[in-house]
């Protein structure tokens, strides 16, 4: 019953904010520095005449972080097409390569530059974790890209990649939901999307009412749950009510 009530609260909040967004009401979403810097990063690479690298993590298409990263790739690719810049996407999974190719192709088409799309710019390296890291590092050192995006699931290779990019002076924007890797990205990159910021990127970048409403509704639901927990701690501490009994499964 308690789970049902929680789902109803979150569901109603999502429906309410989606309806507000569809009605043209402005929904406040705080600025995410890493996403705001996309245009600046692409523009910098264009001015310098150097490539933009996009690294979509090392997981396959069954991982939500990979899907979120490819969503950001779509926005980056559209800007690259508009600015007539150079994009390269080395991947470590064949299915991710196919998804990235279709995403970039669609972005170039939407930007009115389908002729500028180069399929070979999205290419496969290897499935092996450190073999992939070594391959990407080699590309970074040789090509010296002006901008590097790391968006997806990363493990021990995160610092290897980010340090190399930092060494060549590239502007780096990272994003992952892997808590153990966040300190390395924060230390070595210019901007970092932390945890849920990576998943909120699709709504933030597209400004689509359904996505914005869902994002806002989920946030409100979390606030309500936190308030209930806080109230429960207070009343239980002072012995006003055995709050824990309300959540006992019988």
The most confident of the ranges 39-43, 70-74, 140-144, 222-226 is: 140-144
pLDDT confidence tier of residue 26, bands split at 50, 70 and 90: confident
Q: What is the pLDDT of residues 2-23, one digit of tens each?
A: 677 778 878 888 888 888 888 8
Which CA distances in Å does 47 have to 5, 71, 84, 244? Answer: 54, 25, 10, 60
Tokens 């002006």 locate to 146
- Average pLDDT, rounded, for the chain: 89
What average pLDDT does range 34-43 have in this prediction? Answer: 89
pLDDT value at 248 more than 70: no
d(CA 169, CA 205): 27
**Whether the Cβ atoms of residue 116 and residue 85 lie closer than 8 Å to each other:** no
Minimum mean pLDDT range among 4-18, 67-81, 117-131, 232-246:
232-246
pLDDT of residue 171: 95
d(CA 210, CA 205): 13
d(CA 187, CA 61): 28
d(CA 214, CA 24): 15
Helix, strand, coil percent values for the chain (each to nearest 5): 65, 10, 25
d(CA 180, CA 52): 26
d(CA 5, CA 63): 29
d(CA 98, CA 93): 9
Instruction: Choose among 200, 192, 198: nearest CA to 29.
Output: 200
R_g over Cα of the chain: 21
User: Helix H segments across 49-156?
Assistant: 64-83, 94-110, 129-143
**Whether the Cβ atoms of residue 178 and residue 151 lie closer than 8 Å to each other:** no
The tokens of 177 are what? 């939901």
Q: What is the pLDDT of residues 176-235, one digit of tens each?
A: 999 999 999 999 999 999 988 888 887 787 777 788 888 888 888 888 888 888 888 888
Facing residues of 53 across strands? 88, 148
The tokens of 61 are what? 């298409």
């Amino acid at each position: 019953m308690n789970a049902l009530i929680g789902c109803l609260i979150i569901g109603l909040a999502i429906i309410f904010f989606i309806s507000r967004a569809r009605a043209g009401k402005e929904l406040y979403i705080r600025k995410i520095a890493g996403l705001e810097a996309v245009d600046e990063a692409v523009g910098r690479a264009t001015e310098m005449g150097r490539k933009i690298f996009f690294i979509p993590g090392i997981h396959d298409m069954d991982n939500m972080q990979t899907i979120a990263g490819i969503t950001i790739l779509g926005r980056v690719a559209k800007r690259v097409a508009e600015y007539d810049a150079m994009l390269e996407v080395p991947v470590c999974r064949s299915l991710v390569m196919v998804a990235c190719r279709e995403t970039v192709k669609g972005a170039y088409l939407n930007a009115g530059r389908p002729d500028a799309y180069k399929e070979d710019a999205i290419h496969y390296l290897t499935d092996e974790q450190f073999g992939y890291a070594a391959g990407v590092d080699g590309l970074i050192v040789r090509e010296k890209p002006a901008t590097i995006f790391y968006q997806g699931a990363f493990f021990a290779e995160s610092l290897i990649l980010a340090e190399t990019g930092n060494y060549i002076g590239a502007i780096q924007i990272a994003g992952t939901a892997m808590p153990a890797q966040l300190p390395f990205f924060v230390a070595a990159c210019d901007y970092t999307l932390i945890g849920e910021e990576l998943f909120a990127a699709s709504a933030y970048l597209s400004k689509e009412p359904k996505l914005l409403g869902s994002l806002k509704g989920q946030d409100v639901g979390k606030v309500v749950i936190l308030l209930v927990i806080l109230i429960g701690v207070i009343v239980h501490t002072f012995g006003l009510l055995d709050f824990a009994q309300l959540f006992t499964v019988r």
